[in-house]
Amino acid sequence: MQRHQGFAWLASAAALAALTTGCTAGSGTGGGSDAKAGGSSTSPAPAPPGKYRSLPSPCKAVDAKRLKVMLPVADSLTPEQRDQLYAGSADTSYDGDRRVGCRWNAQVPDTTRLLYVGFERVVSYDRAVASDDDKARAVYARQLADAHIPLPPPPTPSSAPASPPASPPASSPASPAAPAPSTAPAPPASAPSPAASAAPGAAGASGAAGASGAPANGTPGVSPTSSVSPELGSRLLDGLGSEAFIDDKLSAAGATAQARTVRIVFRTANVIVTVEYSVQPTVPGSVPSSEETQERARQLARELADRFSD
């Protein structure tokens, strides 16, 4: 009997020890779970997609009146030929929501004009690292660097001390009296030769003839080399999308006429827009106007920027 009681006491003690160990282990496990939950950090939410999810049709994005101003055509074209020319030619694209473009080509007897409009919607494949806008900003920065656009100089500090005014020169002592002029009579002046007297009038006549005899070029936006046409050059642009630049290139002078190509690139949110306008005269010695070519390209770029801001 005592033997059975001993076995029962041992069994009870073992069960009590197991219960105590289980409670202790359970308490430790629960504490470890709480520490793990409290110490874990959640990953940041990915950036939202870009503002624009699709792109407009580039061949229909340019107003018809704008096309006729930038691309004059010969009067000999039929209405059907004009409609086909102004309809443009779309670039081949395998994803119309990512990259599209359209081209136009117009010729008149003395000038050929080319126009290109392109849209690119930039998408970031890892928005946890960079948003669509950040990716588009990087693509624009690469195009700006490739164009070698001169950046404006940094502002000069205005706190530099002003230079002291220059002191007036000290009065010099009185100089000795100059010797009296010689009283010898001057030799008689020689009479001017007829050729010398006629030279000023001849020069003035030739100058007037040169000024008025320069051939005038009636082609809009194209000036002869004898006239002075200011070169506006390549630079950054303000007030066009989020950021923009203009690239003005003039081909080298040679036996043929010089062609001018003006390219404007601007970014609005996650879309990059490119406008390229070329004027190629056929008359040797003609130079397309930088001012007029740039202004026509800028007017079109502003209209496209307004389309995206709607």
pLDDT of res. 252:
87
Q: Of 187 and 117, which is predicted with more confidence?
A: 117
Alpha helices (runs of H) in the chain, residue ranges in sequence order:
2-39, 58-61, 64-70, 79-87, 132-147, 194-212, 290-309
Task: Give the list of residues 6+ apart from residue 148 with CB closer than 8 angstroms, or none.
Answer: 234
**Residue type present at position 280:** Q
Calpha distance 120→127 (Å, rounded): 18
| Each residue's pLDDT tens digit, 118-140 | 999 999 988 888 999 999 999 99
Tell me the pTM.
0.66
- DSSP run (H or E) holding 230: none
pLDDT of res. 166:
53
| Each residue's pLDDT tens digit, 199-246 | 333 333 333 333 333 334 445 566 554 455 689 999 999 999 999 999
pLDDT of res. 116:
98
Share of the chain above pLDDT 90, in %: 49
* Average per-residue pLDDT for the chain: 76
Quick one: pLDDT band at residue 6, thresholds 50, 70, 90? very low
| Mean pLDDT, residues 16-29 taken together | 46
- Spans of all domains in the chain: 65-150+219-309
Quick one: pLDDT band at residue 46, thresholds 50, 70, 90? confident
Calpha distance 88→102 (Å, rounded): 6
Quick one: pLDDT band at residue 309, thresholds 50, 70, 90? confident
| Mean pLDDT, residues 23-40 taken together | 46
pLDDT of res. 127:
85
The string of DSSP letters for 163-216 reads PPPPPPPPPPPPPPPPPPPP-SPPPPPPPPPHHHHHHHHHHHHHHHHHHHSSPP
| Each residue's pLDDT tens digit, 57-100 | 999 999 999 999 999 999 999 999 999 999 999 999 888 889 99
DSSP state of 48: P
